[in-house]
Amino acid sequence: MTAAVSKNLKDMTFEDFCRTVFDTTKRYDKPETLKGVRVISTTQYILGPSCANYLAELGAETIKVELPKRGEPMRHTTPFNEPFLYPLSRWMPDKGTGLGFFGANANEYFLSLDFHKPEAIQIMKRLAAKSDVFAENYRAGTFDRWGIGGRQHLKVNPRVIYQWMGGFGGWGPGRNRASYDILGQAQGGCFSITGWHKEYGGMPSKQTIWIMDYWGGAISAFNIMACLYWRDNVSGKGNFLEYSQVHGAQRHLTDLIALYGKTGIVAQRFGNWEPLLCVHGILKCGKSSYPNSKNPQEQEVGFCLVSAYKDEDFANLCKIVNRPDLAKQYPTHADRVGADAQTAIYPELEKWAADKTKEQVWEECKKAGIVSQPVWNSKEVSAQEHYHLRGSLAWIDDPTFGDVQTQVHPALMSETPPRCRWVFKPVGADNEYILAKLCGYSGSHIAELEQKEII
C-alpha cells in the first residue's frame, strides 16, 4: 500500500484505518528501513548495545562483537540471579544468559573476537572497511591505540559513521572517570528532582530504568540516522560522533537549567505532584486491587493519576469527590497551582480515594470525562490487549529460546515498520556466517581461529 490511499481505506473509520495500516501481522510483508546498512557494534552493557539494537530493529544488519566464551558482562546480569535463558553458547550449554541482556541485543548477529590477539584486530579492520556504522564503547582512545579507532577507519572507509559512546567522553577534565547509568543519573541531576521532598519522608530517587543508557542509545541512533541521511543525500562523507552518557541528563533537564540560570532557583523534588499543573498528580487509593494475592507487589494499595488541571475538569472532579467547596475555593488554575494550594488539595482528594481501588478511581474519572491512569505494574501492563495489538509488546517464537515476551521498537510505521526477529542469540552464534560472508574465511580457517581462542 502506498501513500496514495486506496478507496477502501478512504472510507474506513479512522480507527479501522489505523488498525489496517499498522497491522502488526503484516510487518513481514513490508520492507525494512535500514535494509543494506551494516552496523558493527563492539559495545557492552546497555548504552552502546541499545543504540545498535534500535538500528537492527529498523532493519540494519547489525553485527555484535563480544569476547569469546563468556560474552559481554550483561549476559551475567539478571535480577536476584534467578532467571536465565539457556544456553550461553554452544561451548557452555549448562550456563545461561541473564535477563540484563534483554532489550538491547535483538535482531543482531553475534560474533566473538578476542581483541587482545593481533588476528582479531585484522578481522576488525576488514569488518570496518565494509561497514556503514561502527559503534564502540571501549575506554576512549583504546581503539585508536589498537589501530581500529575512528581516525584509522575513516581513512580506509571515508563513508563510515563512527560512534563512540561512554561515560565522560574522550576529552575534558573528567575523561578518565568510569561511569555507569546510575552515575549519569546521580551526577547529572536526575535523582535530585525525583521522589518526595524530605518533609514528606522522601529522598532523591533513581528512575527504575537504565534511562541514561537507553536514552543515550536512542539519541545516538537518531544522530546516526541523520548522519546516514547526510552522507547518502548530501555529502557522501562519514562522520565521527562522541556521546557521553552524563550528557543526557543535562539535555533532559534543560528547562530546569534555564530556570537556574535565570533565577538561581535549584529545582527540588515534588513527589507525585506536578509543579506546573494542578490537579495533575498521582493519588494514593486506599485499597489494593488484589488483596488475596500472594505476591506482595499486588497486595500493595493502588495509585492512580488524576489530571484535571482545566477549570471545568476541576469543577467536575470536585463534583465526583463531593467537595463543591474546593471548586469554589480554587476556581482558577492560578489559584490551584501554587505550592500551598497543591499541598492542601491533594490530601482532600486522597480522602475520597481512601476506600477505593485504583480501578474504581479510574472508572469514576472516566465516567466524568476526566483524564486518569492507574499505576500499573509489569503484570498489568503485560495483560493489556492494547499494547499487544499495537505490537509494542509481543510474544515471539524465538529461534533459540522459544516463546518469549518482548518489547519491540515503539515507532509504528505504515510502510517500513520495525520488527523483532529474535531477542538475542548465544555467544558466537554467527561466527561462521559472518567470517565467511565478510572476511571470506574457509571452514577450516574458522575452526583454526576457534582453536586458537581468537573467536
Q: Which residue is associated with the grid cell 500499573?
A: 376
Instruction: Tell me the C-alpha distance between 401 and 235, whole Å.
Output: 43
Examine residue 10 and tell whether it contacts another protein (CB under 8 A). Answer: yes
Minimum CB separation of residue 161 from another protein in Å reads 9
Minimum CB separation of residue 451 from another protein in Å reads 28
Give the nearer residue to another protein in terms of CB position, either 109 or 273: 273
Give the nearer residue to another protein in terms of CB position, either 51 or 449: 51
Q: What one-character-per-residue DSSP string does 107-133 give?
A: T-EEEE--TTSHHHHHHHHHHHHT-SE
Minimum CB separation of residue 450 from another protein in Å reads 25
Examine residue 234 and tell whether it contacts another protein (CB under 8 A). Answer: yes
Identify residue 167 by its one-letter amino acid code. Answer: G
Among 413, 421, 433, 437, binds another protein (CB under 8 A): 413
Give the nearer residue to another protein in terms of CB position, either 4 or 292: 4
Among 39, 40, 282, 321, binds another protein (CB under 8 A): 282
Task: State which of positions 369-408 bind another protein (CB under 8 A).
Answer: 369, 371, 373-382, 384-387, 389-390, 392-393, 395, 403-408
CA distances from 425 to 45, 48, 114, 161 (A): 16, 17, 18, 26
Q: Is 110:426 a contact under the CB 8 Å cutoff? A: yes
Q: How many residues bind to another protein according to rule CB under 8 A?
A: 193
* DSSP single-letter state for residue 448: H
Task: State which of positions 145-184 bind another protein (CB under 8 A).
Answer: 145, 149, 151, 167-175, 177-180, 182-183
Instruction: Tell me the C-alpha distance between 101 and 112, whole Å.
Output: 16
- Of 275, 254, 256, 253, the closest CA to residue 264 belongs to 256
Helix (H) or strand (E) holding 312: helix 311-320
Task: State which of positions 247-276 bind another protein (CB under 8 A).
Answer: 247-267, 269-272, 274-276
Site string for another protein, 326-365 (x = CB under 8 A): ------xxxx-xxxxxx-----------------------
Minimum CB separation of residue 117 from another protein in Å reads 21
Task: State which of positions 56-95 bind another protein (CB under 8 A).
Answer: 58, 73, 76-81, 83
Task: State which of positions 414-443 bind another protein (CB under 8 A).
Answer: 414-416, 418, 423
Q: Dmax over Cα atoms in the chain, in whole Å?
A: 84
Task: State which of positions 285-324 bind another protein (CB under 8 A).
Answer: 295-298, 300, 303-305, 307, 310, 313
Give the nearer residue to another protein in terms of CB position, either 150 or 449: 150
Instruction: Tell me the C-alpha distance between 122 and 450, whole Å.
Output: 15
Task: State which of positions 109-138 bind another protein (CB under 8 A).
Answer: none
Contacts of 139 (CB under 8 A, 6+ apart): 166
Minimum CB separation of residue 60 from another protein in Å reads 10
Q: What grid cell was written down for 449?
A: 581461529
Task: Please report, in angstroms and rounded to a whole number, the separation of the first and last CA atoms in the chain.
Answer: 44
Q: Which residue is associated with the grid cell 494475592?
A: 293
